[in-house]
Amino acid sequence: MLSQAHRKGKHEITNDGTSNLKETSGSFTCKCDKTLHISSNWVQLSKGQRSQSAHVHPTNVFGSLIHLRTDVNSVTNWNTPLVWEGTFDPVVIDAIYKKMDPRVAVVVFAVGKYTCFLKGFLESGEKHFLIDFRVTYYIFTDNEKDVPKVELGKGRKISVVTVPSANRWQDVVLGRMKWATITIDKQIRNEADYLFMMDIDSVFHNRFGAESLSQLSAVLHRGNYKVLKTNFPYERRAKSRAYIPLDEGDYYYTAAVWGGYLEDIFIHIFRFMKNLFTSYLQYFEYLLYNKPTKVLSPEYLWSDYDQIPADIKVVRISQLIKDYKKVRPNGGR
């Protein structure tokens, strides 16, 4: 769990939405940073320093050899874990994090007809998402009566946040950053240590565990993880705030699942988005210059629209096939 000193009194949000960090006492680092973030043969030691890793053979960490994948990269070019099935020991990594007893927030928006996806998301999450960890699902909705009653495990709960209805789906996409930021500031930051933003039109199929936890976790986009960076659909117009030069870029991430330390998400992303972001293309520009401390493979968000290739050994969560004209406000226009 994060210390009280980390969650409160450590920063000020200025009028322009930026953050001034102020050290009053103690440390900014999470207690989790004194332990190991493990992904196959990589041990990440992050005591307030991002992307600082030591290359250690798994026998030195676990006492038994993990069968390493040779068909995929399990480390980024800035030496942080790139997590695939077969590159971590789920029993060991869950045991490490359970000792810290982190509180995990999951923020989802179910506005308008999107409430139809709540039951499948919640019921499958209770089977596969961070099982035996403390989890709160924060459901932002304009239809509280449509939130289903779902049997939850020990230490897990649902918190409903009422938001206005929207006439256009674009207003939902951009408005959720505003409402999430406000609610994190007023409520969630006192109730969680880690936070995941997820799209509600998804269903969990297999384990989504503690290997996903990090200071900043981003998921590779299923449609672009084998594509050359020169072909990434980044913003290439030089006048745009989201501009990324043709010869730059690491990966193309999805914006439908991402997370990290709650305070880091709040300070470094949410306030930035609320004040400066005009489109999700700036999300990619942000991650280019603020590297994730853990990258999750497309296993952590696939799509029912796509065939599953050989390197995807397990689909952990997948976006559902849907008729956008029926579920989006104003017929999806």
On whether 110 is known to bind a ligand per the annotation, the reply is: yes
Residue 264 falls inside a structural domain = yes
Per-residue model confidence (pLDDT) at position 14: 31
136-166 pLDDT per residue, tens? 999 999 999 999 999 999 999 999 999 998 7
Residue 109 assigned as binding residue: yes
199 annotated as a binding-site residue? yes
Average pLDDT value for residue range 60-73: 57
| Residue 24 belongs to a domain | no
More confident site: 65 or 258? 258
Tell me if 149 is assigned to some domain.
Answer: yes
Q: What is the pTM of this model?
A: 0.77
* pLDDT of 85 above 90: yes
**Residue 114 assigned to a binding site:** yes
Q: Is 201 annotated as a binding residue?
A: yes
Check the annotation: does 268 bind a ligand: no
* Percentage of the chain lying above the pLDDT 90 cut: 48
* HEC sequence for the chain: CCCHHHHCCCEEECCCCCEEECCCCCCCCCHHHHCCEEECCEEECCCCCCCCEEECCHHHHHCCCCCCCCCCCCECCCCCEEECCCCCCHHHHHHHHHHHCCEEEEEEEECHHHHHHHHHHHHHHHHHECCCCEEEEEEEECCHHHCCCCCCCCCEEEEEEECCCCCCHHHHHHHHHHHHHHHHHHCHHHCCCEEEEECCCEEECCCECHHHCCCEEEEECCCCCCCCHHHCCCECCCCCCCECCCCCCCCCEEEEEEEEEHHHHHHHHHHHHHHHCCCCHHHHHHHHHCCCCEEECHHHCEECCCCCCCCCCCCCEEECCCCHHHHCHHHHC
Between 63 and 129, the more confident residue is 129
The total number of structural domains in the chain stands at: 1
Q: Is 218 annotated as a binding-site member?
A: no
Per the structure, the complete domain to which residue 309 belongs is given by 4-11+30-332
What is the CATH classification number for the domain harbouring 305? 3.90.550.10
> Is 163 contained in some domain?
yes
| Residue 20 domain flag | no
**Would you place residue 6 in the very low, low, confident or very high pLDDT band (cuts 50, 70, 90)?**
very low
Question: Is 11 a known ligand-binding residue?
Answer: no
